[in-house]
Chain A
Amino acid sequence: MKEVRSPGEIGLLKIDKGVEMKISINDKFCSGCRICELICALTHQKENNPKKAFIKIHGNFPNPGGYTIEISEGCKGCGQCVRFCAMNALIEVKK
């Protein structure tokens, strides 16, 4: 898995093995609600525990504000996080 992105811009997450989808990440739109963390853990670890997710949201407060999204190695590219992101911070890129 490679992550190609620069801060503040739309990054493209490429999943090489077992690719199901490509996710484009835009931190600027992230509201920090962490539902992506929760659905990831519920789906893959079968646990209501966001700390076990393959995706992680970092807050950058109080200065400058906003959030950074980090996706870790374990990501299966299942796209559940995309489905529940209300802010379009995570978008599926059509193949």
Chain B
Amino acid sequence: MNGYGGKILRVNLSKNSTASKPLDLEFAKAWLGGRGFVAKILYDEVKPGTEPFGENNKVVIAAGPLSGVFLPAGAKTTFASKSPATGGYGDSNMGGHFAPEMKYAGYDVIIIEGIASKPKYLFIEDDRVEIRDAEKYWRKGSIDAEEMLKKDLGEDFQIAVIGPGGENKVKFACISHDFGRQAGRTGIGAVLGSKNLKAIAVKGTKAIPLADRKQVLKVGKEMFMKCFGHSALDEWQECGTSGVVNWVNEIKAFPTRNFQEEYSKDHKKLCGEIMRHLIVTSDKACFGCPMACGKYSHTRKVPGYKHDIRIEGPEYETIALCGANCGFSDIRDVAYANWLCDQLGLDTISTGNIIAFVMECFEKKLLTEKDAGQKISFGDIDSFEYLAKKIASQEGIGKILAQGSRAAAKIIGKNSEKLAMQIKGLEISGYSFRNALAMALAYGTCDVGAHHNRAWAITYDIEVGRKKLKGKPEKVIFLQHARPMFDMLGVCRLQWVELGLDLEYYPRILKAVTGFDYSLEDLLKISEKVWNLTRMFWVREINDGVADLSPRSYDFPPERFYEGGILNKKIYTRLLNRYYRLRGWSKFGIPTKKKLKELGLKT
């Protein structure tokens, strides 16, 4: 099938079996790929009430029709599972080279089912698929395990791997790839850990068939030339995402000391420019990407600094959450915190949030040395290291923290819930929204919990004015369709967001690659369909599990976010009501029958 690897691979770890079947053309047309595929398969195959760590939960992995094809950054792989962090729909995507390699091996989707009796890894080399023993890689850090696997199998293999955090079912454990790319959010690494699956290694030598090769070359070239000609390309190549630190700080959205403040006076010690100067050794790009926003760094042992590590990053989110939010003022400390999280297999956004939460609990005397086993304080990298290791091994206080900040605050009590920066059980990304109403709505309604990537609406708050309400729900909805559209296509969105690559290019290149004749409007409609389906996943879970809790009450951000800002419950409710109306959802945030019918959804 043009544009696709052509097969779905199903792996049952309980039965130690693998089977592949051809990808159905109608299925591909209806759900496109990536996020569309994983959401549909998860909705159909993971029944309500399924235990996230139980045998019946699944991990679905998908590439998109534009992954591995000639255009800028066709690099995205999406992972989905019922999230142990939130109990609802969870997906997370990563760049790198995994999705292209899956397709070169002939697979668009990999479905992981069951639980292996012993540590295993999945080996895929074109049509050869094996569930192999992973005893020697188990308990190894993500970076170390990937290095060992590449040494054993060959550098050509692309590897997705979990660390000790995933093995020990930390609810915010991530999946790592290519020495620094992560599918970090919603704890899918822990689901792989619960299945005893350490890694997936894939290598493919096949071609992706194209509907119109000449047209792919023509449109692809246009897209590349457009990127090359953009004035922001140099800055992105120079600093990557760390380049936005100063801007976010300037607009007072930079999480500092567990979101107590939104401005770090140390931002110049944490920004991309200083990072480039002090620790970056080379640039690291995802497949086919001219921006190369990945930065590879090396901190050296010098008098007064003790860690010698090599790490991809830190990225902006890590600098925000594992940096200023934990009170750090040295980019090398952030790099070390990043390295610890990567080795341990922990999501840096959630981990930075939870450790900052503990730091504030200490500051407010809600936790003591006796509770934690040692003194914990803001700005102390040894505190970070101590807690990260405790979390990954689920020892001592780590056992509580490994449940995520919502559950941990409940156990700690003493009103500490107010300090836990999370929505729906997922810790918030690196943008404070007390003074950014569109961003508040984007976080509150995001379909995996408080994550920025579905609708990075804060730029719109700045553009039209923070206090303005008009137009913001509309903008958030547009972004919630446009940005996940890229995750369906298996391509990075940054070329559109940052280099102004017009959205109209994507239906054009999609047609050249697959032959599908979709307009941009059609693609956004499919994205809306997926958004409604993931919403129905939540509705189904809540109706089954917590009957008295309406989805709407899940959507409110915690009180902490209101303190001292322009956001308050009244304004938020107004935004939310309008958002629900515009979406064609009930006042409780449930998609109406009419809406589902319009989208062609049978639920």
Contacts and interface: CB of A to CB of B under 8 A. Distances in A.
B1 interface: no
Interface in B120-173: 143, 146-147, 155
A95 interface: no
A86 interface: yes
Nearest to B294: A31
Chain A, interface residues (CB within 8 Å), range: 20 to 34
A37 B227 CA distance: 19
B207 A48 contact: yes
B310 A65 contact: yes
Contacts of A35: 70, 224, 288-290
A33 B289 contact: yes
Interface string A20-51: 00000000110111110011011000111111
Contacts of A33: 285-290, 292
A84 B224 CA distance: 7
Contacts of A34: 97, 287-288
Given A38-B70, A58-B155, A65-B282, A49 B233 contact: no
Nearest to B342: A62
B160 to A, nearest CB: 15
B352 to A, nearest CB: 22
A31 B283 contact: yes
Contacts of B237: 86-87
Interface stretch (B208-216, B244-252, B478-486, B578-586): B208-216
Contacts of B282: 28, 31, 65-67
Contacts of B568: none
Interface residues of B, number: 43
B104 A42 contact: no
A33 B207 CA distance: 18
B296 A66 contact: yes
A42 B213 contact: yes
Given A28-B282, A34-B97, A42-B213, A62 B287 contact: no
A58 B155 CA distance: 7
A51 B208 CA distance: 11
A87 B292 contact: yes
Nearest to A51: B205
B283 A87 contact: yes
A61 B147 contact: yes
A7 interface: no
Contact of B104 (A32, A51, A64, A86): A51
A48 B216 CA distance: 10
Given A33-B285, A34-B287, A65-B310, A48 B69 contact: yes
B469 interface: no
Contacts of A28: 282
B268 to A, nearest CB: 26
Among A33, A34, A59, A64, max chain B CB count under 10 A is at A33
B288 A38 contact: yes
A59 B310 CA distance: 14
A35 B288 CA distance: 5
21 contacts: A29-B283, A31-B284, A35-B290, A38-B70, A42-B70, A48-B70, A48-B208, A48-B209, A48-B213, A49-B207, A51-B204, A51-B205, A59-B155, A61-B296, A62-B146, A62-B179, A65-B284, A86-B227, A86-B228, A86-B291, A86-B292
* The 7 nearest A-B residue pairs measured at CB: A86-B290, A49-B207, A33-B285, A31-B292, A31-B285, A47-B207, A61-B179
